[in-house]
Amino acid sequence: MRTALALSICATLAYAAARPDRLDLVGEVTGAGRTILSVTLFGVDHPFTTSTETDFLGEFRFHALSPGTYTVSVLKNSLGATRRTVVVSPSLADQKGAVRVTIPFDPAAAAGVSGGTISKNSLSIPGRARRKYSESQKQLAKQDVEGATRSLHAALDLAPQFTQAWNALGMIAYQTHDLPEAERDFRTAIAVEPAAFEPDVNLGGVLLSEGKFAAALEVNQRALAQRPADALANVQAGIAFFALGDYDRAEPALLQALRADPAQFSKPQLFLADIYLRRGDAKAALAAIEDYVARHPDADDVERQRQRIRQLQKILVP
């Protein structure tokens, strides 16, 4: 199974970073039928991963999570995977400390994503290297980033062609703010397996973070050629178009990202709001910012966005 953590290509969302709170994530997968599914949770704003399975009704639960932004990947064998951003945030939790989410499984969109097919590269990885990779994932679940990094390097010593391990190293480098190392790791992953989607789209995120907008656009368009509906590839292409001043092409890419992943962690609503304001459409800008605040009520920039909402509401009052 190929796992991939989505990159945050904007400022990292740090929800309640100083709070001791621990919250549960309770989910329901719809549209996949009555079967047991594999569910993996990836941290967006910190190196972390853990896995569980659904019951036959499609329900799953992760316990005692740090508040933050996560990507949920739901895998159905032979069909592929679907991914959604989830916000585990105090304001979204119920009285029992649980955040409840519904993950729609779309077989058409999931086809070929992380498990639908097995590459020749994947078949060449020896068992010892796979065990080291599995060890790294267990260490990340315990937030042992140094141990996970050592295990990934050990896996690569055994199998330098291990794309998944290079991608995981790149994610750790990105989340620990070592952008040059992240770029090197993702480029190495692409070199050993040019058709791999995850390191390609992750490289696109790193290039955006480095301010290399034209290069980022080229990489993300290459990713979109493989998966035109992918939320991360679309939002990153949209942000690249925005940074390059091409707002007419930025808008549809950002809207597609929101359709695929309504809580997408790269804040597409805020880029859309800026586009609408440039066009003089305060009503559309207000709706976009309100949607962002509703989905990310404990984000570090939420008070600023609420202030923008109040200002726009004053403008729109007759």
Question: Which pair of structure tokens corresponds to residue 132?
Answer: 């080291």
Residue 251 has a pLDDT of 98
Amino acid 34: pLDDT:
86
The residues pairing with 75 across neighbouring beta strands, listed in sequence order, are 38, 81
Residues 29, 88, single domain; the answer is yes
CATH of the domain at 87: 2.60.40.10
Q: In 254-276, which positions are buried (b, 16+ CB within 10 angstroms) versus exposed (e)?
A: bbbbbebbebbbbbbbbbbbbbb
Q: What is the CATH number of the domain that holds 140?
A: 1.25.40
From 55, 84, 110, the end of a domain falls on 110
Domain with 92, as residue range(s), is 23-110
Same domain, 86 and 140: no
Single pTM value for the model = 0.89
Question: 122 and 166, same structural domain?
Answer: yes
Contact 186, 167 (CB under 8 A): yes
Whether 81 is covered by a domain: the verdict is: yes
pLDDT tens for residues 224-262? 999 999 999 999 999 999 999 999 999 999 999 999 999
Averaged pLDDT, 17-42: 85
pLDDT digits (tens, 9 = 90+) for 157-213: 999 999 999 999 999 999 999 999 999 999 999 999 999 999 999 999 999 999 999
Q: Domain count of the chain? A: 2
- Is 1 a residue whose pLDDT tops 50? no
In a domain, 64, yes or no: yes
